[in-house]
Amino acid sequence: MPKITLIGAGSVVFAKNILSDCLSYPELSGGSYFLFDIDEGRLRTAEKMAHQVAAAWKAKPNIVATTDPEVALEGADYAVNMIQVGGYEPCTVTDFEIPKKYGLRQTIGDTLGIGGIFRALRTIPVMLEYAAIMEEVCPDVTFLNYVNPMAMNTWAMLEATDITTIGLCHSVQGSYQHLCHAIGVNPAEVNYTCAGINHMAFYLTLEHKGEDLYPRIMEKVASREYYPDWDRVRLDMMLRIGYYITESSEHFSEYGPWYIKRDRPDLIERYNIPLDEYPRRCVAQNASWAGMAAELEAGKGFDSLQRSSEYGSRIIHAMETGEPTVIHGNVLNYGLIDNLPEGCCVEVPCLIDANGIQPIKVGPLPPHLAAMIRTNINVQELTVRAALENVKEYVYHAAMLDPHTGAELSLDQVWALVDDMFAAHGDWIPLFQECDCTCDGDCDDDCECECHDEARQHCCGH
């Protein structure tokens, strides 16, 4: 039976889903599940939750909770990453409130834009620290990353470490379903092809028993017979480009220069764009945490567990049993999508079986979709390069080239905003620190100079 480690198990609701999914498979029900978190209080709640989930599935796993990452990862076959670095306070608040002073508004701020850039800069170093541990204690582990910004974090892990990594989201397998319901088709009977980058992948085909569903969907939406308030942005874009986008309207509205403009409140109203949506969700979740934790510890909410649509357990089950499954995952683009940059992080179909993760070639995307995606990849690449090469200037260039930021701010404002973001984040971003190092970058992995950190990078930029 495999050893599965949950990194950030204090994210109790999501950890519950992953554990429940895994334990729903008889082949995984007797495995070892190590819960790791730096928050001891949340970890204890997660541990109690895990035992409740096991009881609900009548499973007999070995459950261990620890605040020691080496204990959690020693000999792990799979590691599921669900951390958030910096939390709502102070970091999410910083991501939203500092840009707001410049008139730059966001909805979610976890994937692209100034919020996504700085979320990556504080997350990638932490992920690389865990990778360094994994390379020592479980070098053959399969690392399942659920942490945003998905493309940047996964790209950094795949490029900078030897750990087998795949990035996972839940938008591909769920986003198309409401369109099927709108035209009276069972989503379970629909075949689709989907590819792009995380949060900006496109359903290239949507077919039901050989019928292309797009004409019927387009007719319903164009006539406004089907035009729900919560999805106006994506549906508007679908009518313009001919394809439906995987991630939600509130997400997609901040990935381009078109929908959020400080001098166009009419657009916010027209497309029903929920500015500051992610902070609102965080406040609501924090407010409900105490009650939720009490219910979990009391065993409430475990009566009718069902396997979710998350890919994590399906990957583990397929690799352990050899029973193949196809999921959509985030991997590096080597021969997968012809008209996106080589080596960038793409979201494509992947065959999973006893041979592991096998990405499937998609070929070229329609040229206008590839062009739109490349505007986002520019930002992702510069942010990853900044984090991996300790080049602070690339952060300014990433912000400058971000479609939404560049459309709203002058270059002087972009530079001032980035300066303010660095100042507000302080030690949450360990990169780019200045020091009096005398090694001049001539040292190797065994270097003991003070600026040579655990992620084997020179924090001073040498």
- Active site amino acids: 170
Distance CA 134, CA 132 (A): 5
Burial 406-417 (b: 16+ CB within 10 A, else e): bebbeeeebeeb
Residue 14 tokens read as: 């999501």
Maximal CA-CA distance, the chain: 69
The residues near 434 (Cβ < 8 Å, ≥ 6 apart) are: 460
Beta-bridge partner residues of 35: 6, 65
Contact 81, 73 (CB under 8 A): no
Report the candidate in 102, 62, 69 with the shortest Cα–Cα distance to residue 407: 102
Q: Are 81 and 127 in contact (CB under 8 A)?
A: yes
Residues whose CB falls within 8 Å of the CB of residue 316, separated by 6 or more in sequence, listed in order: 2, 4, 22, 28, 78, 142, 144
- Secondary structure percentages of the chain, helix, strand, coil, to 5: 45, 15, 35
